[in-house]
Structure 1
Amino acid sequence: MKEFSMIPTEDELASLQRDLSFHPTENPSPKVLASDQIERFNRDGYLAPFSVFSETEVQQTREYFDDLLAKVTAAGGDSYSISSAHLKHGRVYDILHDSRIVDRVADLLGENVIGWGSHFFCKMPGDGKAVAWHQDASYWPLSPSKAVTVWLAIDDADRENACMKFIAGSHTSGHMTYRPSDSTEHNVLNQTIDNPEQYGTLVYDPLAAGEFSIHSDLLLHGSEANESNRRRCGLTLRYCSADVRADLGWSQKGVHVRGTDPSGHWSNQPRPE
C-alpha cells in the first residue's frame, strides 16, 4: 500500500490547489434527515444530537476502546495516538460503515460516500490539553470542501469535562486565517484561529455516550481542557463525497461506505482483521 502523509506540513498544503468553500447540501428528498435538518445544517454547519445506539452497544464500544487504549499506551502511545483506526481495527471499520451513521451522512453528501478517517480524541481526567479553535479542512489535502466529521461520544461529554464547542454559521466564511499555536497554549493541534465569535454564535455540543453530532469540515470548533475527574473520549469519523480528490497519498485512506466511487480514486482497502 502506498504511504500517505499522516500530518501534512504547511508547505505541502500550501502547494495544493484546494477549493475551500462551503458547498450547501441540495437534497429535496432526504431519506433519513428531515428537510428542516438539511436547512439547519446549511445555515449552522452542524447537526446534533443523534441517538441511535442501544445501551448495550454503547457499553461494548467503550469496553473495546478501553482495551485498545491500554494496548496503545503499553506500546508507548497516548490517548490521542489512535488514528486511521479503520485501517487497523475491524471494529472501527464496522463503526465507520454503520448504516445508522452513514444514512445521515449520505443525506448531506450524496449517494456516493467515502469514509476516510477515524481518530479517537480521548481527554483523560485533568490532562490540561485544549483543542484550539480550528477548521478541519485546514489540515486536510482534500478538494473540494465537501466533507463532514461525525463525533461519536464514547463517554458522556458535557461542559464540565470539555465537550466540543462550535461557532454556528462560521462554515460559510470559507477558509480562515490562523496562526501557529504557541507551546504555552497546551493545544492538542497546532493551529489557532483568534476572535472566533466574529464569525458566528458560540454553541456547545454536549453528547451522552452513544450520541453523535455531524459538522462541516469548514465549521470553526474546538474544546477546552478537561479539568474534571472524568474522562472524555470521542471517536471522530471523517466522510466525504466520492468526487472529492485527495492529494499526498490520502486516497489510500478511503473506503466505500455508501454507493460507489465511479472514478476509482479512493483505494477501498479491505476490512482489517
Structure 2
Amino acid sequence: MLSKDEIASYHKNGYLMVEDAVSPSQLDELRRLTAQFIEASRDVRESNAVYDLDKGHGPDTPRLTRIKIPHKQHPYFWEVLRNSRMTEVLASLLGPDTAIITSKLNTKAPGGGAAVEWHQDWAFYPHTNDDLLAFGLMLEDVDAANGPLMVIPETHRGPILDHSMNGVFAGAINPDDPLFERDKIVTLTGKAGSMTVHHARILHGSAPNVSDRPRYILFYEIAKADAWPILGAASYIHELGQRRFWEDLQERIITGKACLTPRLETVPVRMPLPPAPDNSSIFKTQESAGAKSAFR
C-alpha cells in the first residue's frame, strides 16, 4: 500500500513514481511477451487491431508506436494488473471498486520513435467525475534520452486546455497556449519495474526516442467504478448497445464490483468533437488533425 505522504503527494501534484510495481518474475514475463509481439509484427504491413506501426517499419526493422489493448491480446497483461503491487496502489488511490478504460503498450523504437504531443487524457474521455488515472509500467530502464513521460505538476486541478486544431479535435494542446508552462515540466525516469501514476487531467507528453535503445512502457488507464463515461467521447462502448455494454462492464472490473449510481461532480468538460480525420489512435489523431509539435 502507499503511505499517507505518497497519497497526499499524488493528490497535490497529480503524479507519483512507484518503484518495484511488479515482481522480477512478472517483469520478465511481460518482457518476454512484448518481445513475442514485436517479433510477430515483422510480417505486418499496415496498422491493424493489434499494432500501430511507426514510420520505417518493415520485416528487417520492426518499428511500432504501440501494441493496442494488450490486456485483450494476452491474458497475462490483465492478470498482472489484478495481482501485483499495482493492485495495491490502485486501492490506495481509487478505493476498492475500479474498472479499466483501456490499455496500451507504447513501444518507442530507437533513433526517433514517435513523440506523444502534450495533452490531457481527460480531453479524450470525460466522465461524470475525475477519479481517473493512468499507470505507466516501465518494462526497461527509462532515461531522459529515450522519450520518458513528462508532466506539469498540479495541472490536474486546472482547466482543460483547448485540444483542437484546424476545426477538429487534435488530441494535443497548442504549445503556444499561455497556460502551457514549460518551465514547470518534470521528467519521469526510472528503472525497469518502476511505474508512473498520473491523474487523467494532468498535462503530459513525451519526446521522440533519440537513444539507441527501445522504450517500452505499459499503460493502463483506469477509473473509479462510480465514474461513468460521457456520451460523445471516442470509445467503442457507445456502439455496444445496452446489453453488450453491461457484459463489457463486467469484463472491465479490475477490483470490487460495478457501480450503478454514477457520482456526478462539477468537473470541466470539453467534448472531443468534431473527430479528427483519423482517430484510430492518439498518434493518428494528432497527425491527421495537424497538431502543432512542442518538440521541434
What is the TM-score when the length of structure 2 is the normalising length?
0.70
Q: Pick closer, same or farther for the CA change 1:199–1:40 going to 2, 3 Å.
A: farther
Contact in 1 for aligned 2:142/2:148 (Cα 8 Å): yes
Pick the aligned partner of 1:191 from 148, 172, 186. Answer: 172
Distance 2:150 2:223 in 1: 22
Q: Which amino acid aligns with 1:120?
A: L
**2:285 aligned residue:** none
RMSD, aligned CA = 2.4
| Counterpart check, 1:35 vs 2:4 | yes
> What is the rounded CA distance, in whole Å, between the counterparts of 1:108 and 1:53 in structure 2?
17
Q: Please give the secondary structure, in 2, of the residue aligned with 1:91.
A: helix
Query: What percentage of residue pairs aligned between the two structures are identical?
Result: 23
- CA shift in 2, pair 1:116/1:193, >3 Å: same
Q: In 1, distance between residues paired with 2:209 and 2:203?
A: 19
SS in structure 2 of the partner of residue 65 of structure 1: helix
Selected match of 2:210 from 220, 227, 248:
227
**Are residue 137 (structure 1) and residue 122 (structure 2) matched?**
yes
| More displaced stretch, 134-143 vs 225-234 | 134-143
The alignment partner of 1:144 has SS state of coil
The 1:55–1:107 alpha-carbon spacing in structure 2 relative to 1, beyond 3 Å, is closer
Contiguous gaps of at least 5 residues in structure 1: 1-31, 182-188, 266-273
Question: Match for residue 257 of structure 2?
Answer: 260
- Say if 1:96 and 1:115, in contact at 8 Å, map to a contact too: no
**Structure 1 position 90 matched with structure 2 position 75:** yes
Greater relative CO (CA pairs within 8 A, separation 6+): 1
For 1:256, give the aligned amino acid: I
**Superposition deviation, residue 85 in structure 1:** 2.1
TM-score, L = length of structure 1? 0.75
Q: Are the structure 2 counterparts of residues 241 and 179 from structure 1 closer, same or farther at C-alpha, using a change threshold of 3 Å? A: same
Gaps of 5+ in 2: 46-50, 54-63, 238-244, 263-296
Q: 1:249 to 1:144 in 2, by over 3 A?
A: farther
Query: Superposed, which structure 2 residues align to 1:145-160 within 5 Å?
Result: 145-160=130-145
Letter in structure 2 aligned against 1:162 = G
Equivalent-residue separation in structure 2 for 1:157 and 1:228 (angstroms): 10
1:214 partnered with 2:183: no
Q: 1:51 aligns with which of 12, 20, 39?
A: 20
SS for the counterpart of 2:91 is: helix
Q: SS of the residue aligned with 2:196?
A: strand
Paired residues in the alignment total 227
